Amino acid sequence: MSNSPAPLVLEHTPGLQHHFADMEQQRNASSLGMWIFLGTEIMFFGGMFLAYLVYRMWYFNEFAAGSRTLNLLVGAVNTAVLICSSLTVALSVRAAQLGKRTLLVTLLALTILFGLVFLGVKAYEWDEKFTEHHVPGYSFHFQPESPEKPVDQGHAQIFFSLYFAMTGMHALHMIIGVGIFSVITWMAWRGRFTPEYHTPVEIAGLYWHFVDIVWIYLFPLLYLIDRRPHG
Amino acid sequence: MATAVSIAPEREHYLNKEYGIRSWLLTTDHKRIALLYLVSITFFFFIGGFFALLIRLELLTPAGDLVQADTYNKLFTMHGVIMVFFFLIPAVPAVLGNFLVPLMIGARDLAFPKINLLSWYCYIAGGILVLHAMLTGGLDTGWTFYTPFSTAFSNTAVVEAGLGIFINGFSSILTGLNFIVTIHRMRAPGLTWSRLPLFLWSHYATSVIMLLGTPVIAITLVLVVLERAFHLGIFDPTRGGDPLLFQHLFWFYSHPAVYIMILPSMGVVSEIVTCFSRKRIFGYYFVAMASIGIAVIGFFVWAHHMFVAGMSLYAALIFSILSYLVAVPSAIKVFNWTATLYKGSVSFSTPMLYVFGFIGLFTMGGLTGLFLAALGIDVHVTDTYFVVAHFHYIMVGGTVMGYLGGMHYWWPKISGRLYPEAWGRLAALIVFLGFNLTFFPQFILGYLGMPRRYWQYPPEFQVLNVLSTAGSTILAVGYLLPMVYFLWSMRYGELADDNPWDAAGLEWKTSSPPPTFNFDETPVVTWEAYNYDELPTPQEVHVEQ
């Protein structure tokens, strides 16, 4: 938060909309709006987390077996990529507060790059699922790692259904995030942000951090259910 | 009232500031967006009503002779989907709320005017998808989309309709978000939380439900669509998926959705009952907190829709008790409105007639809701016309009465014209009579055992069904009348002055219709809400003039 003290001079401030009294009111409203929207997002993902919880309790064996087939290395790399993108977002908000335009644009572009890398890796992982017949539907087939531990094909499909629904919804949010950051980068490039007015960078950053946090939960819940060595 | 005539024609206000289709479709003025919503929800209301009349016509005779069973399934589904998602949920918040929230708090607009316009476009996009689904194959899942019928068996346009409702959900979310931020951040100086009109408290509570509930139905419908389109198996019993999980997720939104429908109407009632009793509201804090209480408790009662679906008895007991609890704040409101009337100077204008209708019908609907919350009785009347009658008393007798009362009360502010009072009272009376004739027989039918959602029935039920169908035609006349005289009054109605009811509240302190930015200068509030004891009575106002 920048602590600009003077709400009175702002009659001609660029970016102040007509229905707000001053910049502080406008910034507070935008920020509250984004926080509330993120609350609705928690409820949105919450529906899937609830389904995950129920079925993981019921069908733990299949969930653990399905989880072990996910590509741990690729998932971990993607987690690291997203954490890096959160860092660049946090630094870009700082750069906006300090009014460093070139740095701001660079950091925003890096964020988009990290986001695209994540999506590319995700596409590679999904593609693997098709060749392994792990996509729910008629051609689904799940081979248990050892014949002594039989796996219910239907229950395994539920694990992969949740995998696709959850990572799919997350990827959709990433795509939207990349779109938002493209607009923000363009605005930063045109010099639209000042130390006094950079609310769009802040609230877009809030959104990006939220999408990251969702992945921070998805990664252990999907990839790390049961990774003990099995013999 | 005649004094307003000389100045009115020249003054610039939100209606005559700009003309042309672009000035409406690209507007960010909350008042114009309210009117866009008014036109579109009225359109959907009459489509939904048309389906309702076809249903009642089919049920005129015991035999299934007007339409076939499949068509009948589509008729009640489309009636439910249109009325719930495209009329009842947006009706009061999107029309009256959009128009009044900024006016009541002395703001120039909602916090996010462009998002407000976006919410209308979400509504329209969702509506077009659902209408298209209905014209190309229809929908026969019931408005509840229960799995596995909706995912595996129905041969109708489930995916398209589901996506339409999903998109329409964003209009709810964006409206709720706008209201909460606006009420938090944009109140006029001096307008503290304890001075807030109860209309705003109820819209605040409504917005909380919209924000917490709508995303859950959104993801639920997405999962249904994914299951149908891409063979995911989250609710598929053949793969170990649980249809009950769908029902839990569905009702987690769809029960609170009833409070999305009723709470804004309760806010309307609080405004009108004080104005036409010329009294402060009885127990301001109790009425305000009852709204919040309904919003909170309302989230913990959903499974009372599933008592016979195979729940544990202990869970059922808890949900039964919680359902009883939510009646407490509702009853607080009813008692407080009644106490407000006591020793008030009550007048029987059209809005007040609708309020009386609301209080009576909502009480009936609420009390029969307690029947349904009782485990034993619920087993007997589950999926019968008793349930149908109960929720129509709440949703039509409550929500629509409040909506129509509010439309009459604020029509002078919205249009700058007065509606014809005699016609207004007549229509209110017709609606009340027609409504009871339509739905009261359904309580008896249900208790006698007539199940809902069938296109034919045993002959012994015919008398009550004929009564119900007769009532529905009367109700239709009652709903058409206001539309006719509202339209008539826009051109021929007497010009309204700024405050035709001598009401308290900031919205009456600006001109009718208001200027684009609502107030010429930001008002400063120094009074409590509903300070009717400090205002002159209408008689005194007339003497002064």
User: Could you read off the pLDDT of B298-340 as tens digits, one per residue?
Assistant: 999 999 999 999 889 999 999 999 999 999 999 999 999 999 9
A60-85 average pLDDT score: 95
Inform me whether the pLDDT recorded for A8 exceeds 50: no
Please count the structural domains in chain A: 1
- CA–CA separation, B176 and A36 (whole Å): 10
Distance (Å) from the alpha carbon of B498 to chain A's nearest alpha carbon: 23
**In B, which residues are within 8 Å of A155 by CB distance?**
239-240
Residue A8 belongs to a domain: no
- CA–CA separation, B408 and B301 (whole Å): 34
Inform me whether the pLDDT recorded for A17 exceeds 80: yes
B71-77 average pLDDT score: 96
C-alpha dihedral, B118 to B403 to B164 to B237, nearest 10°: 130
B75-88 average pLDDT score: 97
Subunit contact A39:B517, Cβ cutoff 8 A? no
Give the side-chain half-sphere CA count within 13 A for B473.
7
Confidence band for A3, pLDDT divided at 50, 70 and 90: very low
Subunit contact B233:A41, Cβ cutoff 8 A? no
Residue A230 belongs to a domain: no
Residue A64 belongs to a domain: yes
pLDDT digits (tens, 9 = 90+) for B121-166: 999 999 999 999 999 989 999 999 999 999 999 999 999 999 999 9
Residue A9 belongs to a domain: no
Q: Where are the domains of chain B?
A: 2-544
Mean model confidence pLDDT for chain B: 94
For chain B, first and last CA: distance in Å?
9
Residue A3 belongs to a domain: no
- CA–CA separation, B543 and A18 (whole Å): 41
Residue A190 belongs to a domain: yes
Q: Looking at residue A149, what is its pLDDT? A: 78
Residue B528's alpha-carbon distances to B190, B197, B267, B510, in angstroms, are 10, 9, 17, 18
- Secondary structure in 3-state letters for B144-155: CCCCCHHHHHCC
Q: Looking at residue A2, what is its pLDDT? A: 43
B35-47 average pLDDT score: 97
Confidence band for B539, pLDDT divided at 50, 70 and 90: low
Residue B202's identity, in one-letter code, is S
The full length of chain A comes to: 231
Q: Looking at residue A230, what is its pLDDT? A: 65
Residue of B nearest to A162 (CA): B234
Mean model confidence pLDDT for chain A: 91
Strand pairing partners for B451? B384
- CA–CA separation, A20 and B186 (whole Å): 8
pLDDT digits (tens, 9 = 90+) for A126-166: 999 999 999 999 999 998 777 777 889 999 999 999 999 99
pLDDT digits (tens, 9 = 90+) for A98-121: 999 999 999 999 999 999 999 999
Going by C-alpha positions, the residue among B203, B211, B191, B183 that lies closest to residue B270 is: B203
pLDDT above 70: percentage of residues in chain B = 97
Torsion sign over Cα B391, B392, B393, B397? positive
Question: Best interface-test mutation with B: which of A44, A126, A139, A155 has the largest number of B CBs within 10 A?
Answer: A44
**CATH code: domain of residue A140:** 1.20.120.80
∠ CA(B347), CA(B350), CA(B351), 5° rounding?
A: 85
Cis peptide before B148 (omega within 30 of 0): yes
Which tokens in the block code for residue B10? 């020249």
Confidence band for B536, pLDDT divided at 50, 70 and 90: confident
Residue A82 belongs to a domain: yes
Q: Which domain holds residue A77?
A: 22-223
- B2-544 in CATH: which number? 1.20.210.10
Subunit contact A29:B185, Cβ cutoff 8 A? yes
Residue A1 belongs to a domain: no
Residue B219 near chain A (CB below 8 Å) = yes
Which B residues, 385 through 444, put their C-beta within 8 Å of a C-beta on chain A? none
Residue of A nearest to B226 (CA): A165
Confidence band for A12, pLDDT divided at 50, 70 and 90: low
B197-223 average pLDDT score: 97
- CA–CA separation, B290 and B330 (whole Å): 7
Of A8-12, B19-23, B412-416, the one with minimum mean pLDDT is: A8-12
B48-73 average pLDDT score: 95
**In A, which residues are within 8 Å of B215 by CB distance?**
40-41, 43-44, 46-47
- CA–CA separation, A200 and A196 (whole Å): 12
